[in-house]
Amino acid sequence: MLDKLLRSVIEQERAAVVICDLSHKIVYMNPAAVKNYGKYGGETLIGKSLLDCHNDRSREMIRKVVDWFSSCVGNNMIYTSRNEKHNKDVYMVALRDKTGKLIGYYEKHEYRNAETSKPYDFTKSLI
């Protein structure tokens, strides 16, 4: 049951969530990611290398971050960039199993825009 609940949390997220394994293969994209990366192939990116979607500098930094995640069980999130156009900060986040072993990673987008909906507005969905 918990797996279904956690999957639903990710699928309802308005920010793009792209989950990769340690070989940098894209194993999951939530609906927001499929839409956001539609011009690059959207859902067809699943199964492909995340590294193929980035330039040399970004590939180098992704590898360094994964090495940093691997170096210590306490290294779990790092700030990677600011996107002024979309008013968001971007982070890479480690994914670990119950023993603390690194099993993958994902990119987390934190938008800084104030919510424009009225509190408890049951007339519209935000997703």
Is the whole model's pTM more than 0.75, yes or no?
Answer: yes
| Each residue's pLDDT tens digit, 46-89 | 999 999 999 999 999 999 999 999 999 999 999 999 999 999 99
- For the segment(s) 15-111, the CATH number from 3.30.450.20, 3.40.50.2300, 3.40.50.10540, 1.20.1250.20 is 3.30.450.20
Backbone angles phi, psi at 43, to 5 degrees: -60, -25
DSSP count for the chain of H helices, then E strands: 3, 5
Q: Tell me what the pLDDT averaged over the chain comes to.
A: 94
Residue 127 binned pLDDT confidence (cut-offs 50, 70, 90) = low
Cα–chain-centroid distance for residue 112? 16
Vertex 54: Cα angle to 53 and 55 (nearest 5): 140
Share above pLDDT 70 across residues of the chain, in percent, rounded to a whole number = 98
Q: Quick check: 29 pLDDT over 90?
A: yes
